[in-house]
A and B are shown apart, each in its own frame.
Chain A
Amino acid sequence: MAALRNKSDQEIKDLLNEYGIKHGPLVDTTRPLYEKKLKEAMAKAKVPVTKPSPDRTFYREDQEEVTYVTYQTPVRSEGPSGDGKPYMRSRPEYSERDRVDDKPYSRSRPEYSERDRVDDKPYSRSRPEYSERDRVDDKPYSRSRPEYSERDRVDDKLYSRSRPEYSSGRPYVDEPHVYNTLSSSSYSKPTPVVKSGGGVVKKENTTSSGRLIPLWIQFLVFLILAGFLYFIFTNMESAESSPFNRIQ
């Protein structure tokens, strides 16, 4: 098929489409590549070989894209929160992350999520992550109550134990884009503990919150501040007497 060399660009393109070969623009640097592909396709066409694999891989990618979407949302909503709940489900999430780790390149676009590539996609990912953080900030109080009651039940030893958890949570907060390596490291910490038994899971819930300052301190400070403001307000100069003094 030396005639391939003599064909025009358009003819080559038509041939590529005919054989169903995915191609980009036909430039002088890409032309030899496409000619070679056409040669192979023509040789294969003589031998009747069914090639469902390209279609199948495409289908599989589609399917996996869909599963990605469904897996991502619970992971994402739970993952960066860093408090309470995620560690209950750390093991299934971790296996999902492994799956994420395996296929970074074939689907990078839908994968807005965490990925192991250290610096990948800081810009496209930083925005959804920030919105997640806002969501996280909205919900700490709704979820803090069960945590809070658990904390009451737990003795102070857990606070001393929770410090290393905070240290793992802190870099987590500071570097949103280096998400996966740190999250994998932060996940690797509780998983050995979780494995030790179900009874420990409850303790894990309380110690695993990534709060820098314990919740009760936050509440206390808030109450003190509110009380202070109220005190100021009530002791403000009363405006009962009219500000307009009659000149007599």
Chain B
Amino acid sequence: MSSTSQKHKEFVAEPMGEKLVNALAGIGEVLGKRLEEKGFDKAYVVLGQFLVLKKDEELFRDWLKDTCGANVKQQGDCYGCLREWCDSFLLFQFVLCQRKTYQHGPFI
């Protein structure tokens, strides 16, 4: 899986903020609509589900298949996208929260 789509690259390049589920790699219009109907209207909700499933690939794939009927490729793309995003930003956000306590610098 050495090639990643443009969507994937865009998603993992920055914090997801309020992006819609359609922004996830592998999730197009149809799947996005199905997810929204189930209540997963933003990408971070899917992220939440991903984390609750302990970032496990198999569980997440199964869940995605059950929830919106994604095929194998779409499952893989979405999983990979979220996985990479977590690797890049999950820890960073924790660090960011800690940094807020040092607003005036660590040496004061």
Contact = CB atoms under 8 A, between A and B. Distances in A.
B84 interface: yes
- In this complex, which of B2, B13, B92 has the most chain A Cβ atoms within 10 angstroms of its Cβ? B2
- In this complex, which of B62, B79, B80, B88 has the most chain A Cβ atoms within 10 angstroms of its Cβ? B88
Tell me what chain B mostly uses at the interface: helix, strand, loop, or mixed.
Answer: helix
A122 interface: yes
A163 B54 CA distance: 49
B40 to A, nearest CB: 8
Given A22-B59, A33-B59, A120 B84 contact: yes
Interface in B19-56: 49, 52-54, 56
Nearest to A104: B1
Contacts of B71: none
Contacts of B18: none
Tell me what chain A mostly uses at the interface: helix, strand, loop, or mixed.
Answer: loop
Given A30-B63, A105-B80, A116 B2 contact: yes
Interface in A103-119: 104-106, 108, 116-119
B1 A119 contact: no
B59 A119 contact: no
Contact of B87 (A27, A108, A116, A118): A108
Interface residues of B, number: 26
A119 B9 contact: yes
A101 B2 contact: yes
A29 B49 contact: yes
A25 interface: yes
A14 interface: no
Interface residues of A, number: 26
Contact of A24 (B1, B13, B56, B92): B56
Contact of B91 (A23, A30, A106, A123): A123
Contacts of B87: 108, 120-121, 124
Contacts of A32: 66
A105 B52 CA distance: 18
B2 A123 contact: no
A101 B83 CA distance: 16
B92 A118 contact: no
A118 B10 CA distance: 11
Given A101-B2, A102-B2, A105-B79, A117 B84 contact: yes
Interface string B53-87: 11011110011001000000000000110011001
A104 B91 CA distance: 19
Q: Which 6 A-B pairs have the closest CB atoms?
A: A24-B54, A101-B2, A33-B63, A121-B87, A24-B53, A116-B2
Given A33-B59, A105-B83, A123-B92, 9 more contacts: A22-B54, A25-B52, A29-B49, A30-B49, A33-B63, A37-B62, A118-B4, A118-B12, A123-B88
